[in-house]
């Protein structure tokens, strides 16, 4: 299926449906289409985009952006019935483990290799330092099982981890989860983002970033998400234990999620 929906003003807007899954009873199922979406911000949508979004039947949004991000680029949603919005503020640079590892590195000029190391640590930090946010996300999907979209700024890191955790809870295998994560590279205009960032940074001398490092930041690479999944495996007792002990998704709740979102 064509997962990427080209809606004007939206970046990285994709349907999470149709992936094969195995439920807790061992039955082969698939993720429902037209029910779960992932995306970047909704600041640049126009009337036509709002009309298209309304026709998709989206009734719920999970916004992982910080208050500052929302202030700079407020969502411009205008369809009825208005979707329920959950503000799940997540600052990927605020985790204690991330700060300890990355802050010294930011004091020197960063290469693309340095940035890849940092982005891997960002993803690891998301599942270790911000599990509470993802706990609220999955709880929201359970409490209100309607057509929903999860998003952040570019729809790749915070949203990428959210999508990975949701797909894992639904019984999608690791290889498929990683393939979905990597689709961002096909759906995001990385060079456009790099050029815009370089223009911004030219007005702020002293920032230790170049174009190659920025490209590594805006792209996704397997090692980014694998850092999160490996942390779950080695630091949290595996995905099943992480879902239950860290995110509050017991086997009964996991079965409910699968009942709502698997066909």
Given pLDDT bands bounded at 50, 70 and 90, which one contains residue 138? Answer: very high
The model carries a pTM of 0.92
Write down the pLDDT at residue 177: 98
Is the Cβ–Cβ distance between 19 and 5 less than 8 Å?
A: no
Percent of the chain with pLDDT over 90: 75
Q: What is the pLDDT of residues 246-262, one digit of tens each?
A: 999 999 999 999 999 99
Average pLDDT over residues 69-97: 87
Write down the pLDDT at residue 100: 57
- CATH 3.30.420.40 applies to domain 14-261: no
Q: What is the pLDDT of residues 5-49, one digit of tens each?
A: 999 999 999 999 999 999 999 999 999 999 999 999 999 999 999
Write down the pLDDT at residue 114: 86
Report the alpha-carbon distance of residue 54 to residue 81 in Å, rounded.
8
> What tokens appear for 98 in the block?
């991330």
Q: What is the pLDDT of residues 219-239, one digit of tens each?
A: 999 999 999 999 999 999 999
CA end-to-end span of the chain, whole Å?
Answer: 16
CA 207 to each of CA 202, 213, 218: distance values in angstroms, whole numbers, following the listed order = 9, 12, 17
Write down the pLDDT at residue 106: 54
Given pLDDT bands bounded at 50, 70 and 90, which one contains residue 92? Answer: confident
**Average pLDDT of the chain, as a whole number:** 90
Q: What is the pLDDT of residues 148-158, one digit of tens each?
A: 999 999 999 99
pLDDT at 2 over 80: yes
Nearest residue to 133 (alpha-carbon basis) of 69, 87, 174, 72: 87
> Which residue has better confidence, 245 or 93?
245
Nearest residue to 37 (alpha-carbon basis) of 58, 52, 10, 55: 58
Write down the pLDDT at residue 67: 94
Cα angle 258-259-260, degrees, rounded to a multiple of 5: 90
Write down the pLDDT at residue 244: 98
Average pLDDT over residues 163-180: 98
Report the alpha-carbon distance of residue 197 to residue 213 in Å, rounded.
11
> Which residue has better confidence, 238 or 208?
238
Write down the pLDDT at residue 188: 81
pLDDT at 214 over 80: yes
pLDDT at 206 over 80: no
């Amino acid at each position: 299926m064509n997962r990427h929906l080209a809606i004007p003003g939206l970046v990285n807007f994709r349907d999470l449906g149709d992936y094969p899954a195995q439920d807790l009873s061992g039955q082969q199922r698939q993720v429902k289409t037209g029910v779960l979406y992932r995306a970047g911000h909704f600041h640049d949508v126009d009337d036509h985009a709002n009309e298209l979004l309304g026709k998709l039947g989206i009734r719920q949004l999970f916004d992982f952006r910080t208050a500052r991000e929302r202030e700079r680029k407020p969502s411009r949603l205008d369809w009825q019935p208005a979707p329920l919005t959950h503000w799940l503020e997540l600052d990927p640079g605020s985790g204690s483990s991330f700060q300890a590892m990355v802050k010294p590195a930011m004091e020197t000029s960063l290469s693309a290799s340095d940035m890849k190391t940092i982005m891997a640590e960002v993803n690891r930090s998301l599942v270790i330092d911000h599990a509470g946010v993802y706990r609220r996300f999955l709880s929201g999907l359970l409490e209100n099982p309607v057509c929903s979209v999860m998003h952040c700024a570019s729809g790749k890191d915070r949203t990428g981890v959210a999508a990975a955790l949701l797909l894992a809870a639904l019984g999608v295998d690791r290889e498929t989860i990683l393939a979905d994560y990597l689709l961002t590279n096909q759906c995001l205009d990385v060079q456009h983002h790099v050029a815009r960032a370089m223009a911004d940074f030219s007005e702020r001398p002293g920032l230790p970033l170049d174009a190659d490092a920025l490209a590594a930041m805006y792209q996704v690479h397997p090692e980014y998400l694998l850092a999160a999944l490996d942390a779950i495996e080695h630091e949290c007792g595996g995905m099943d234990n992480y879902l239950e002990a860290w995110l509050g998704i017991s086997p009964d709740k996991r079965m409910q999620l699968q009942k709502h979102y698997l066909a």
